[in-house]
Amino acid sequence: MNKKEKFLQSIHDALYQIDQTKVDSAQKLIHNIKKKNKMIYLFGNGASATIADHLATDFTKTNKIKSRTFNNSALMTCYSNDYGYGNLFKECIKSYVNKTDLCIFISSSGESKNVVNASKYCQSNNIKNITLTGFKKNNRLSKTGIVNIYVNSLNYNVLETVHQAILLSIVENLKN
């Protein structure tokens, strides 16, 4: 098998190892947000931030679920300067998110301090949250979500592709 075939096989293998009951649970949470006309907030760093932006657009446009991210550079630099980068997303949640909304946290490692702190804040304040992680099964982020969708891979590109595919499958399933 060449490199391309190995990579594609890795994505296939990771997709088919996912606990589908967790994906179904995440979809139910998202569907309930839609029925109640509430908001979804998505969080991530780097490529996970890009996935968050993509999904916020698709949830809003395709599924008619109000969704947003906090990847605006002015907001990020302001909150990071005032509260520290590790508290960036937690402080955004304090400012914008209602207890009836849903937060989705995407992190390949499940160890990004700003993402973990934000999810812990949700956990301690009864704000529903979904986490998508990889690398180690029992990473810090995986312990903070109502639903954790774990992808069994150590490869960033595999994890990011599978995280996006999972969320896009939910978009597809919730189409009218």
The answer to whether residue 50 is domain-embedded is yes
Mean pLDDT of the chain: 95
Quick check: is 12 in a domain? Answer: no
Please check whether residue 123 lies inside any domain of the structure.
Answer: yes
Helix axes 47-61, 156-173, angle to 10 degrees: 10
Give pLDDT tens digits for 47-79.
999 999 999 999 999 999 999 999 999 999 999
Q: What is the CATH classification number for the domain harbouring 46?
A: 3.40.50.10490
> Which phi and psi (to 5°) does residue 106 adopt?
-120, 125
In a domain, 64, yes or no: yes
Can you tell me whether residue 146 is helix, strand or coil?
coil
Domain assignment of residue 11, yes or no: no
Task: Supply the DSSP string of 38-96, one letter for each residue.
Answer: --EEEE-STHHHHHHHHHHHHHHHTT---EE----HHHHHHHHHHH-GGGHHHHHHHHH
In a domain, 61, yes or no: yes
Question: What is the total count of domains within the chain?
Answer: 1
Instruction: Give the position of tokens 């991210």.
Output: 69
* pLDDT-derived band at 176, boundaries 50, 70, 90: confident
pLDDT of residue 1: 84
- Structure-token match 């906090």, residue found: 70
Domain of 34, in residue numbers: 21-173
Pairing of strands 147-150, 102-106: unpaired
Give Cα separations from 165 to 15, 16, 42, 79, 176 (angstroms).
Answer: 8, 12, 15, 30, 19
Residue 10 forms part of a structural domain? no
